[in-house]
Amino acid sequence: MNLIYLADALADIEAISDYIAQDDPEQARRFLSSLREFIESIADNPQRFRERAEWGRGVRAANFRKYLIIFEHDDEAVFVLRVASGRRNIVALLSDGPQ
C-alpha cells in the first residue's frame, strides 16, 4: 500500500526532529529512523489501528512513543495527516483551530 505524507505531517515530523536535535542530533536521527519504520508498518495493515470517529470519519491513530500518528486510508494508500503529541487537542489540530 502506498504511503502519502500530507504537508502538515511533514512539518510536524521536522519540528519534532528539530526539537530533539537541539539536545542530541544523533538521538534525533535515531528517532526519525524509528518513526519512519513505524509509519511504514502502518501501511501493511492500517485496519489494525482503531478508528477515531470523534476526530472525523475514517480517521485512525497509531501510538508511537508519546506521539500519535494520525492517518486515513483507502484501498490504495495510507495518508498521514499529522504526527502530534498525545497531549495536544487533536480535534483542534485536525481542524486547524487554536491549540
**Contact assessment for residue 55 and residue 91, using Cβ atoms and an 8 Å cutoff:** yes
Answer whether residue 86 is part of any domain.
yes
Of residues 7 and 86, more confidently modeled: 7
Question: Does residue 76 belong to any structural domain of this protein?
Answer: yes
Distance CA 38, CA 59 (A): 18
Half-sphere exposure (Cβ direction) of 35: Cα atoms closer than 13 Å: 24
pLDDT at position 30 over 80: yes
Domain of 38, in residue numbers: 2-94
Angle at 68 between CA 15 and CA 88, to 5 degrees: 70
Q: Is residue 61 part of a domain?
A: yes
CATH number of the domain enclosing 13: 3.30.2310.20
Give the pairing type, strands 2-5 and 77-85.
parallel
Q: What is the mean pLDDT of residues 25-40?
A: 97
Decide if 20 is inside a domain: yes
Domain assignment present for 65: yes
Is residue 90, in this structure, part of any structural domain at all?
yes
Q: Which of 4-18, 50-64, 70-84 has the lowest mean pLDDT?
A: 50-64
Q: pLDDT value at position 92?
A: 64
Q: Is the pLDDT of residue 99 over 70?
A: no
How many domains are there within the chain? 1
Residue 24 resides in a domain: yes
Please state the pTM of the whole predicted model: 0.87
Structure confidence by residue, pLDDT tens digits, 71-95: 999 999 999 999 998 776 676 667 7
